[in-house]
Structure 1
Amino acid sequence: MPDHITLRDVELPPLSVLEPEPVLSGEVYAGRIDRTRARMRELGLTHLIAYADREHPGNSLYLTGFDPRFEEALVVLDLDNAPWILAGNESSAMVPGLPVTATAVLCQSLSLPGQDRSIQQRVSAALRQVGVGSGARVGLVGWRQITAGDSPLSPYAYAVPAFVIGEILDVTPNLTDATSILMGIDGLRSRNEADQIALNEHRSTRAAGHAWRALEALEPGRSELATAEHMALNGLPLTAHVMLTTGSGKIVGLCSPSDRVIGHGDLLSTAVGLQGGLTSRAGYVLHAGQLAQRQTDFAAGYFAAIAIWYRGLVLGASTAEIAERTTRELAKSSIRPLLNPGHLQHIDEWLDSPFAAGSHGTVHSGMSLQADIIPVGSTPDLAANCEDAVAIADADLRAELAERYPRMWARVTARRTFMTQTLGLRIAEEVLPLSDRQAVLPPALLSLSSVLVATASA
């Protein structure tokens, strides 16, 4: 166990009672479209086409607020006109209620199998209808980037169904991958406006409340599903299926709750993700006094790395160096990270991750991040997780948030105070905790107020 990490009883801050959540205005979307068009001009594009489906709505939501249900969809943007949204039989009806002026274009091949195709089936016909002609220079935005390591054909590979690509090429041969305009560590979506950060905070706060209410209801002898009922989910869109899983000796944290009865001494992992942030915790169905020393040591070694990660979030800092220092700290306790030590999040739970060896990324204002460091120990019967959302804001962005969203700012300020004065973590002034009980890690989940803290020497 690291000598600067200890288990201490603390008074947990209450879960927040929230005001109505912020609403992104038409002006926010207009600014996003203007910035996207500037990138299009830099690349010599006349049109941008962004793909979306139920699992991957982030780019569509970013540009227009359109969130397709059941179906696939395409957002088409040129350099002058309001966006067009190519949608199927069901989702077309959602376009008139968007916060931006957009025109719905029925494209029935984007509908579910077996539905009517008799009005307008082909994507190519719909593209011609909105002015995409043979001379158009089209940038296609898929739901992720395809790198050279993913495929030797990466300059010509798109994370978009092949039939859509074929339909675009039927209209124009001038097609290029433009996913990096919106996604990736330098994409527009890695720089959030004050309004999006405020919305992320609201959703992250809700997600934390859902997860912590389940933990507060935890009892051996109660089923996973009965425990998950205490999350009190309210219908806001999820970025991941609800997770709550237990097991004896081993768990797979991605699993959904079942009728399995939770046993004393089980491992437990739970997570709730909303569009804006995810909260996850993992530990043992034990009281603090029942922890084995190796269980405490594992959690403490993990928390020491969490402290390193938060401390590294300074404007201009190398994300590759933060990843290396975090990984090195984990290794001191024979732990490795399952995935990257942290990642970008936006509307999606995982946008990309600059926390990797060789990354050229730096910590910049407007980032919204997940403290998602999943520890893997030497044996599968060890568990810990402490995942929350955090934003990075320079002085100007902090001033705007404080002025326009005073209640949100009060929550952020209180969380910073708790993290530094109670948990002993060092965080720069640009670090904005977005979740209730940020970085609170109780290894024994039947003793939630017995948490790991860093001493003054950390």
Structure 2
Amino acid sequence: MTNLIEQIAYCEVPAPITAPAQHPVDLTDDTMQLHKEKILMRMKEEKLDALLVYADREHGVNFGYLVGFEPRFEEALLVLHRDGKAYMLLGNESLKMGQYSRIEAEVIHTPYFSLPNQPMGNTQTFAELIQSAGVEKGMKTGIMGWKLFTSSLEDNDQLFDVPYFIVEAVKNLVGNSGLVVNATSLFIHPGKGARITMNANEIAHYEFGASLASSCILSLLDQIEPGKTEMELANELAAFGQPNNVQTICATGDRFTNAVVAPRAKKVEIGDKFSSTLGYRGGLTSRSAYVVSTKEELPADVRDYLDAVAKPYYAATVAWYENIEIGMLGDEMYHLIESVLPKSIYGWHLNPGHLTAGEEWMSSPIYPGSDLAISSGMLFQMDIIPSVPGYGGASAEDGVAIADQALRQELADKYPDVWARIQARRDYMIHTLGIHIKPEILPLSNLNGYMRPYLLNKKCAFKVNKV
């Protein structure tokens, strides 16, 4: 793949002009019913009598997958039985949300999930409240938070990432004749989880956040100038009051000094390393490069940044975009990236690509030895993070949907505006950037493949010159 690096050109490239989605697409009743049916089917396969789905402010997507909303600042628990009966255990300030649940569920006031020192107003113990949701002796019960505790995709089903008081109560209720297991794999296992593939409605729903994040990042890139502060630039990284699914990053120079992650009043200077990240539900966009116009403005010890880091990284992203396809095994993608961007030289260590949805990272089928195949309906984040000692980072991270012909046709028929944006992005990647993606690859970001390694030169970017 060395030849691919030689094909990467840094030259004048028109910036993408596709407008972001202006209106979100809600999930339909049919989609929400499908979610429940998929989970009930997986419960049947695992012979579970009941499933307890935990949620808090940071980890509410699996809960929301079934009920449609996520806790704003409290905890919550959904108890779903194999016959479809559902209960929601909600704290004081989430009680009113019970009426908006997208599936029928009985609400149980659970003050234990409320904020510190709020009125308890309940004489039942937590275990008694769980029992009132139908959890009984002898049941095989799944508890799920948000993590897969695994190194080989064989779940360690006795590790739980939910509060101890929940696990203790459930184990005491089901007793020795029952069984309690970690059931997170039902939702997010990268080969068989219910959530890893999506229909046209879900793709349209998530395209809103992905396109919005990318347009905000492009606006920030266009505003970068010496003397502006991180906070001034970060003003570009908010839109329509939409919730973020990761910490927003806008950092110039050395990152995270004094353990501060959020943007500060630090001023941009020529020669700075610079990184920016914005994630909404459905997609994240991230860019890292140097605040310079030309090679000569780089610090002397990194003047070869373009050839040493940026071009090889960009070649790897091109290889990722051009080769991902339905049926490709995770192991194949992992070793493809290793062949273009050897880990021993470029220092990346995470999965080169992962599934995404409401959360930024769901799980990933891409790892050494993976026999899991890329499937229609998956949403992927192109996420490769080089780390070469002495150099600033290089990043052009965005997301795509994978869709076979039938799913593409459904998306085009039902969501023509979404489809038009996707087609404009495909056209830009293929005809302007020279990245020849396959028909099943649907760019969800307005910036897929667009990278400026020198941030003060806003006319130039990378592209592929095929030979």
TM range (shorter): over 0.9
Which residues of 2 match residues 49-64 of structure 1 at below 5 A?
A: 49-64=52-67
Deviation, 1:338, is 3.8
Deviation, 1:121, is 5.5
SS in 2 for 1:231: coil
- 1:193 maps to a residue whose letter is N
Structure 2 unpaired stretches of 5+: none
Deviation, 1:289, is 5.8
- Aligned residue pairs total 454
From 187, 204, 208, give the equivalent of 2:210. 204
SS in 2 for 1:337: coil
What CA deviation, in whole Å up to 9, does each residue of 1:229-267 have, x standing for no partner?
12343221111111111116x778993211111111101
Structure 1 unpaired stretches of 5+: none
Task: Mark the CA change 1:371 to 1:224 in structure 2 (over 3 Å): closer, same or farther.
Answer: same
Q: 1:221 & 1:150 partners in 2: Cα distance?
A: 49
Counterpart check, 1:391 vs 2:394: no
Counterpart check, 1:239 vs 2:280: no
Task: Mark the CA change 1:307 to 1:333 in structure 2 (over 3 Å): closer, same or farther.
Answer: farther
Counterpart check, 1:128 vs 2:131: yes
Deviation, 1:122, is 3.3
- 1:179 maps to a residue whose letter is T
Does structure 1 conserve the Cα–Cα contact (< 8 Å) formed by 2:271 and 2:297? no
- Residue 446 of structure 1 corresponds to 456
From 57, 60, 66, give the equivalent of 2:69. 66
Counterpart check, 1:156 vs 2:166: no
Aligned-residue CA RMSD (Å): 2.2
Deviation, 1:101, is 2.7
Q: 1:48 & 1:434 partners in 2: Cα distance?
A: 33
Task: Mark the CA change 1:86 to 1:120 in structure 2 (over 3 Å): closer, same or farther.
Answer: farther
Deviation, 1:96, is 1.1
What CA deviation, in whole Å up to 9, does each residue of 1:211-243 have, x standing for no partner?
221111111111100111123432211111111
Deviation, 1:90, is 1.2
Does structure 2 conserve the Cα–Cα contact (< 8 Å) formed by 1:139 and 1:176? yes
From 159, 184, 189, give the equivalent of 2:189. 184
What CA deviation, in whole Å up to 9, does each residue of 1:60-82 have, x standing for no partner?
01111120121111111112344
Q: Mean alpha-carbon deviation: is it higher for 280-289 or for 301-310?
A: 280-289
Q: 1:41 & 1:138 partners in 2: Cα distance?
A: 12
- 2:418 maps to a residue whose letter is M
Q: Mean alpha-carbon deviation: is it higher for 417-426 or for 265-274?
A: 417-426
TM-score by length of 2: 0.92
From 143, 146, 162, give the equivalent of 2:146. 143
TM-score by length of 1: 0.94
Deviation, 1:148, is 6.2
Counterpart check, 1:402 vs 2:400: no
Q: Mean alpha-carbon deviation: is it higher for 398-407 or for 78-87?
A: 78-87
- Residue 386 of structure 2 corresponds to 375
Does structure 2 conserve the Cα–Cα contact (< 8 Å) formed by 1:122 and 1:167? no
Task: Mark the CA change 1:14 to 1:383 in structure 2 (over 3 Å): closer, same or farther.
Answer: same
Deviation, 1:428, is 1.0
Counterpart check, 1:257 vs 2:263: yes
Does structure 1 conserve the Cα–Cα contact (< 8 Å) formed by 2:78 and 2:86? yes
Counterpart check, 1:303 vs 2:314: yes
Counterpart check, 1:365 vs 2:376: yes
From 171, 175, 198, give the equivalent of 1:169. 171
Identical amino acids, percent of aligned pairs: 33
Deviation, 1:98, is 2.9
Deviation, 1:291, is 6.0
Q: 1:148 & 1:279 partners in 2: Cα distance?
A: 28
- 1:373 maps to a residue whose letter is I
Task: Mark the CA change 1:418 to 1:158 in structure 2 (over 3 Å): closer, same or farther.
Answer: same
Q: Mean alpha-carbon deviation: is it higher for 308-317 or for 96-105?
A: 96-105
